[in-house]
A and B are shown apart, each in its own frame.
Chain A
Amino acid sequence: MLDFIISLRSNKIGMPLHDKAFYSVSFFLIGVLLASFINDWQQKILVTVLVTVLVAMVFLIMRLYALSTLSVVEGLPYKSFWLAILSLGILLGAGYYFVFDAEQKDFNIHFGDKITFTGIIQKVSTGLNQQNLVLGLQDPYQGRIRITAPRYPSWSYGDLVEVQGTIKKPSEQSEKYFEKEGIFGTASFPEIAFMESGRGSPIKSLLFKIKGFAEATFKRVLSPEKAAFMSGLTLGETAEFSKEFREKMSLTGTSHLVALSGYNITIIGKGVMLALGLWFSRRKIFLLSTLTIILFVIMTGAEASVVRAAIMGFIVLLANQVQRLYSFRNAIAIAAFLMILFNPKILVWDIGFQLSFAAVMGLVYLEPAIRKLFKVSPKPGFLNWRANLLTTVSAQLAVIPILLSNFSSFSLIGFLTNILVLTFVPATMFLGLLVVAAGILSYYLAQVIGWLANIFLSYEIGVIDLFAKIPIQISVQSFSLIFSVLYYVIIITVILYARRRKAHVLA
Chain B
Amino acid sequence: MPEEERRTFWRKPPHQNGHCQKIGAKRLMPIWCGGKYKSVLLVLAGLLVLDGVIWYLILFPKGADGNLELYFLDVGQGDSQLVNLPAGVQVLIDGGPPNSRVLSELSEILPASDSYIDLVVMTHPQLDHFGGLIDVLKKYKVGAFIGTGRKGEIDAYRELIHVLKNREIPYIVLEEGDRIKNGDNLFSVLSPNNQNLLSKELNDTSLVLMLERGGLKALYTGDIGFSVENYLTGKYDLRAQILKVPHHGSKFSSGAEFVGEVKPQVAVIGVGKNSYGHPTREALERIEEKGSRIFRTDQNATVKVVLEDQNLAIFAENDGY
Contact = CB atoms under 8 A, between A and B. Distances in A.
Interface stretch (B8-16, B179-187, B215-223): B8-16
Contact of A380 (B8, B53, B156): B8
B210 interface: no
Nearest to A285: B10
Contacts of A380: 8
B10 A151 contact: no
Interface string B37-71: 01100000000001001000000000000000000
B112 interface: yes
B159 A277 contact: no
Nearest to A364: B1
B113 interface: yes
A375 interface: no
Interface of A: 128-129, 150-154, 216, 219-221, 223-225, 240, 270, 273-274, 277-279, 282, 285, 320, 323, 325, 368, 378-380, 387, 447-448, 451-452, 454
B316 interface: no
Interface in B1-48: 1, 3-6, 8-11, 16, 35-36, 38-39
B138 interface: yes
A220 B159 CA distance: 18
A129 B107 CA distance: 19
B38 A224 contact: no
Given A152-B134, A278-B38, A378 B3 contact: no
A230 B197 CA distance: 44
A272 B86 CA distance: 46
Given A216-B138, A323-B1, A378-B4, 5 more contacts: A128-B99, A152-B154, A270-B10, A282-B11, A452-B50
B138 A219 contact: yes
A387 B104 CA distance: 36
A454 B112 contact: yes
A151 B160 CA distance: 12
Nearest to A448: B50
A240 B135 CA distance: 13
B47 to A, nearest CB: 10
B107 A154 contact: no
A278 B35 contact: yes
A273 B10 contact: yes
Given A152-B131, A224-B107, A128 B100 contact: yes
B278 to A, nearest CB: 19
14 contacts: A150-B156, A152-B131, A152-B155, A153-B155, A219-B135, A224-B100, A224-B104, A273-B11, A274-B11, A278-B35, A278-B39, A387-B9, A451-B50, A454-B112
Contacts of A216: 138
| 5 cross-chain pairs, A with B, having the tightest CB-CB distances, nearest first | A223-B107, A152-B156, A273-B10, A153-B155, A277-B11
B115 interface: yes
Interface residues of B, number: 37
A220 B107 CA distance: 11
A240 B9 CA distance: 34
A378 B8 contact: yes
Given A151-B131, A277-B11, A223 B103 contact: yes
A292 to B, nearest CB: 13
Contacts of A154: 159
Interface string B149-163: 000001110110000
A447 B115 contact: yes
- The binding surface of chain A is classed by DSSP as helix
A153 B100 contact: no
B55 to A, nearest CB: 13
Given A216-B138, A270-B9, A380-B8, A153 B156 contact: yes
Contact of A129 (B10, B98, B135): B98
Contacts of A448: 50
B139 interface: yes
Contacts of B156: 150-153
Interface in B239-262: none
A134 B213 CA distance: 53
Given A153-B156, A274-B10, A223 B5 contact: no
Interface in B72-109: 98-100, 103-104, 107-108
A368 B1 contact: yes
B112 A223 contact: yes
Nearest to B159: A152
Contact of A220 (B16, B38, B108, B139): B139
Most buried by B among A128, A151, A220, A221: A151
Given A223-B107, A448-B50, A152 B98 contact: yes
Contacts of A277: 10-11
Contacts of A151: 98-99, 131, 156
A94 B103 CA distance: 51
B20 to A, nearest CB: 15
A174 to B, nearest CB: 24
A67 B70 CA distance: 91
Contacts of A274: 10-11
A228 to B, nearest CB: 9
B103 A224 contact: yes
Contacts of B35: 278
Nearest to B105: A224
Contacts of A451: 50, 53, 112-113
Contacts of B158: 153
Contacts of B159: 152-154
Contacts of A323: 1, 3, 6
Contacts of A279: 39
Interface in B125-139: 127, 131, 134-135, 138-139
B152 to A, nearest CB: 11
Most buried by B among A152, A225, A277: A152
Given A152-B98, A380-B8, A225 B112 contact: no
Most buried by B among A278, A282, A447: A278
B9 A273 contact: yes
B113 to A, nearest CB: 7
A61 B11 CA distance: 51
Contacts of B134: 152
Contacts of B115: 220-221, 447
Contacts of B1: 323, 325, 368
Given A128-B99, A152-B155, A368-B1, A220 B138 contact: yes
A226 to B, nearest CB: 8
A6 to B, nearest CB: 15
Contacts of B16: 379
A448 B112 CA distance: 10
Contacts of B99: 128-129, 151
Nearest to B158: A153
Contacts of A219: 103, 135, 138-139
Contacts of B5: 378
Nearest to B6: A320
